[in-house]
Amino acid sequence: MVMTKADCAEVRWDLRKKRWHIRIQVGEEVIKRAASGNKPARDAGDEVLRSMAVETAHSDGYELDPAAVTIVR
């Protein structure tokens, strides 16, 4: 299966919902997802958050380079 390459992603903490949110950009399209499954804590390390973004993109059918993930704390 050939996956579409995502341009970048942003992982940001949502204060109201108290969980991480992932925003994946593919060209002009933006896909927004809340952290699901094993939800990382607010103080989770950068590598954990990058992995979560990559896995989320992959589950939506996109290939994402971990270096293209920005983390906003």
**How many other C-beta atoms are found inside a 10 Å radius of the C-beta of residue 4?**
12
- Which phi and psi (to 5°) does residue 13 adopt? -80, 130
Strand partners, 32: 23
Locate 7 and state its tokens.
């341009």
* Average pLDDT of every residue of the chain: 95
Give the pLDDT score at 38.
75
For the segment 45-52, the average pLDDT, to the nearest whole number, is 97
pLDDT of residue 64 exceeding 90: yes
Mean pLDDT of 34-38: 82
